[in-house]
Amino acid sequence: MSDAVIWTVILSMGAGTYLIRFSFLGFLGDRALPPWLLRHLRYVGVAVLPALVAPMILWPDGPGSAVDPARLIAALAGFAAGWRFGVVPALIAGMGALYLMRALIG
């Protein structure tokens, strides 16, 4: 691909993502949203975060790769700590378990 094609793709994707965000924030930013929409928007982060994290736990080297036991144990430790104690302890438990499992398993 030529440099012109690459820059055209980069700029058009940047403009597209800007317009998508502006369509929500720019047009609705100064208005009060209906309660039913606010209720649904509360769950966006809860739905998106597992979708971003799960592939890195199950397929660390891409689709079709083997499950990494160290990552799976760290994810379970982070989930358990998060369920019981909250976000910061979940991060600490997950990172600690990952480093420990990497040292033990390799």
* pLDDT level of residue 59 (50, 70, 90 thresholds): confident
Write the pLDDT tens digit of every residue in 63-76: 888 888 999 999 99
**pTM for the complete prediction?**
0.61
Q: What is the DSSP letter of 62?
A: S
CA distances to 7, 8, 14, 53, 78 from 2, rounded to whole Å, are 9, 10, 19, 34, 45
